[in-house]
Structure 1
Amino acid sequence: MRILIAIILVAFLAVSCSNENENKVIYMVRHAEKDMVPKNDPPLTTDGVIRSVDLASWFKNIDIDTVFTTDFVRMRETAKPLAEQQNLELSIYDAKDFEDFAKQLKKMDADTILVVGHSNTILEQIEALDFERPQEEIKEKEYDKIFELRFENKEVITHQYGSKFKE
């Protein structure tokens, strides 16, 4: 009887470990439109503020567990309306430490995560999470994409958002 219980317990642990990230969804978005000054850490422009509100609106029916931004004004301003809407604190991450951040995201006990990043780090972070790059690059004036990473089937879905910027 003990052997049977041990076998069932080991089988249960094996199944639960293999499904660890099955329901995890990570959304990655570039910060909204930034001002040109100050050069090293600019805030959002008026269009960027509008886009940040649009981002919160896009997520109004999606419960986010955690929001990550880098430690720049434009990142925090992009995420702020959504964080306030969902009563969340912003967590800071190092955008250049792709592998460690990917490990952290995979280990997190959170099913739905938003990461606000930079045009030159988002696609690299997607690859560090073992997903295929959804596009070659993010252009300098491209602010309207949300990349949805679904761990269940290793799929990246690209969404566009922004009420003022419909093309």
Structure 2
Amino acid sequence: MRILVAIVLVAFMAVSCSNENEKKVVYMVRHAEKDAFPKNDPPLTTDGVIRSVDLASWFKDISIDTVFSTDYVRMRETAKPLIEQQGLDLSIYQAMDFEGFANQLKNMKADTILVIGHSNTILEQIEALGFDRPQEKINEKEYDKIFELRLGSDEMFTHRYGSKYKE
């Protein structure tokens, strides 16, 4: 009888672990349009502020559990309308720790996560999560894409957003 109980427990744990990421969705987006100055940590431009509001609007019917960004003004400003809309705190991550951050995302108890990243880190982070790059690179003037990664099914979708683009 003990052996049967142990087998059932092990089987239950295996099913639970395999389904851990079944519903988990990670959205990755580049920060909105940034100003040219100051060089090291510029704020958003007027277009960038508008885009940050557009981002919050895009997510108005999607409940986000956690929002991550790196610790730069343009990142925090991009996140601000969304975190205020959904009553969330902003979590800071290290953009170049691709594998460590991927593991953190996979092991979180959150189902829906938004990561605001940089043009030179988003695609690498997508790869660290086990997906193929959806494009070769993110151009300097490209701010309108949201990458939706469904961790349990290995599906990825690319959405476009912003006042200047209607999906």
Global fold match (TM > 0.5): yes
1:154 maps to a residue whose letter is D
The CA deviation string for residues 27-63 of structure 1, in whole angstroms up to 9 with x for no partner, is 0000000000101000000000000000000000000
2:74 maps to: 74
1:45 maps to: 45
2:116 maps to: 116
User: Partner of 1:119: helix, strand, or coil?
Assistant: coil
Matched pairs, number: 167
1:138 maps to a residue whose letter is I
Structure 2 distance, partners of 1:38, 1:130, is 35
The CA deviation string for residues 68-117 of structure 1, in whole angstroms up to 9 with x for no partner, is 00000000000110000000000000001101111111110101000000
1:88 maps to: 88
Report whether the alignment pairs 1:144 with 2:144.
yes
Deviates more, 1:149-158 or 1:111-120: 149-158
Structure 2 distance, partners of 1:36, 1:47, is 13
User: Partner of 2:119: helix, strand, or coil?
Assistant: coil
User: Partner of 1:157: helix, strand, or coil?
Assistant: strand
Structure 2 distance, partners of 1:38, 1:50, is 20
2:3 maps to: 3
2:86 maps to a residue whose letter is Q
2:37 maps to a residue whose letter is V
Structure 2 distance, partners of 1:7, 1:164, is 57
Structure 2 distance, partners of 1:29, 1:88, is 17
Question: Post-superposition shift, 1:124?
Answer: 0.2
2:35 maps to a residue whose letter is D
- The sequence identity of aligned pairs, in percent, is 80
Structure 1 distance, partners of 2:155, 2:164, is 28
Structure 1 distance, partners of 2:64, 2:166, is 25
User: Partner of 2:4: helix, strand, or coil?
Assistant: helix
The TM-score with structure 2 as length reference comes to: 0.97
After superposing on structure 2, the runs of 4+ consecutive aligned residues of structure 1 that deviate more than 2 Å are 164-167
1:17 maps to a residue whose letter is C
2:105 maps to: 105
Q: Where does the alignment leave 5 or more consecutive residues of structure 1 unmatched?
A: none
Structure 1 distance, partners of 2:163, 2:28, is 19
User: Partner of 1:163: helix, strand, or coil?
Assistant: coil
